[in-house]
Amino acid sequence: MFMLESNKFCLVTGASSGIGKHIAYEMVHRGWKVIAIARRKNKLEKLAKYLGEDKIIPKVCDVSKFDQVRDVSKELIHREIYPSLFFLNAGDGDEEDDKGLDWEFHKRIFEVNYFGVISWVSQWIPILKEKGGGTFVGISSLQSFISMPGAAAYGSSKSALNYCFKSLDAMYYKNNIRFALVYPGAVDTAMLKTDKPLPSTWKPEKAAKYIVKKVLKGATKIKFPPRWVLLTGIAKCLPNRVFRMK
């Protein structure tokens, strides 16, 4: 894995809650300074107070708005703050109904889950090339491998991210820039839409520790929890009619 540990700056989107918040915890505990990105200023301020205002650089930013991503990036560059590791975690997991395909809904999901990731990549690839390398970590989903009802927008956005990162990794490997993909299954966050507890669900703290450990060891394909990885592999082999709504 390529990253510049000499400066030890990393950037985490969706840092105010869930997996993103705990990635910020884990990276600070490992001695990194974290540029914490989220929409909610009050939660970012609480994060900075809890982890140390000398260790967290809070930035309010809606990742679905390219101009906000660009402005935050320009400010960091102006301040000569150069993250070499990007956890692009912010996401939207809303489900859709069967009343008709909602174009605006699909557009919103893609603006967060796909364009909200590659906006950061587009701003920082030139900098990483100049500085000698770095790593982008995209949070995908095991659901990107199977077609479930209600997840047409979500699954498609994650599948698009998968292809994009694999292509970019092949293209920029020569520049010491890597693109890692994380495929979570059931994790106990607000994005887990279920009325009943699911077996083998991980807490966000456990997921964050696992992601950070694997990324820092150089992994570029990270899947968990093990039972959900196995079930996904089985589900991929089943005909699509198995998942049809009654």
pLDDT digits (tens, 9 = 90+) for 157-210: 999 999 999 999 999 999 999 999 999 999 998 777 666 778 889 999 999 999
**Segments making up each domain of the chain, as ranges:** 9-243
Angle (CA) 239-200-43 rounded to 5° is 110
Pairing between strand 134-139 and 85-88?
parallel
Helix, strand, coil share (%) of the chain residues, nearest 5: 50, 15, 35
Residue 204: closest CA among 26, 56, 7:
26
| Interval 132-145 mean pLDDT | 96
Q: What is the pLDDT of residues 19-47, one digit of tens each?
A: 999 999 999 999 999 999 999 999 999 99
**Predicted confidence (pLDDT) per residue in 217-241, tens digit:** 999 999 999 999 999 999 888 887 8
Closest CA to 92 of 69, 73, 116: 116
Q: pTM for this structure?
A: 0.93
Q: Looking at the predicted structure, is the pLDDT value of residue 245 above 70? A: no
Q: Which CATH number fits domain 9-243: 3.40.50.300, 3.40.50.2300, 3.40.50.720, 3.30.1130.10?
A: 3.40.50.720
From 213, 128, 229, select the one nearest 179 (Cα to Cα): 128
